[in-house]
Amino acid sequence: MPISAPPPSWASIKNKPTTVSGFGITDMGSQSVNFANSATSATSATNATNATNATNATNATTATNVTNAIGNGQSWQDVTGSRAAGTTYTNSTGKPIQVNVIRGDDNQSAYVNVGGVNAARFNYSGTGTAIVPNGATYSIAAGLTWSEWRELR
């Protein structure tokens, strides 16, 4: 059957798929072409290609975001012996990390400082937890004691 009218606009189509994966996009079956409408068909094909490329780019970005999400491929590490109060560290893992500092009992309030901002406050024998973005610095103030310093990295 020849194509006699332009295809519907993308905006008018209801219940559109959000991904092309598994929809058999390349299997168009037997199609007749009306050459009088070939310009419209070419435009539609270009729009479909552009939509597919945009969807693929979005899916690739989403996959990258999931891969770089905190906790994905990471595990808790006890870094107590390699951390010192008053020392600034840089997260160079390529992913955000979580820092968890358990205080000793020295009757002082303290902060986990991330990128120059006091991101988490904890008192006395409490726990301070903060997310440290990739490339950001983190520390706790000099002179503070803690019993455990763990990082999800």
CATH number at residue 108: 2.60.120
Residues of the domain holding 19: 10-67
The pLDDT value given to residue 18: 56
Flag whether 119 is in a domain: yes
The 10s digit of each residue's pLDDT in 67-123 is 788 899 999 999 999 999 899 999 999 999 999 998 876 677 788 999 999 998 887
Banded pLDDT at 64 (limits 50, 70, 90): low
In this structure, which amino acid lies at residue 151?
E
Note the pTM of the prediction, 2 decimals. 0.56
Average confidence (pLDDT) over 55-62: 61
Residue 146 lies in a domain: yes
Which residues have a Cβ under 8 Å from the Cβ of 49 and sit 6 or more positions away?
none
Pair 80, 148 in one domain? yes
Number of domains in the chain: 2
Rounded Cα–Cα distance for residues 24 and 9 (Å): 21
Pick 12 or 10 by higher pLDDT. Answer: 12
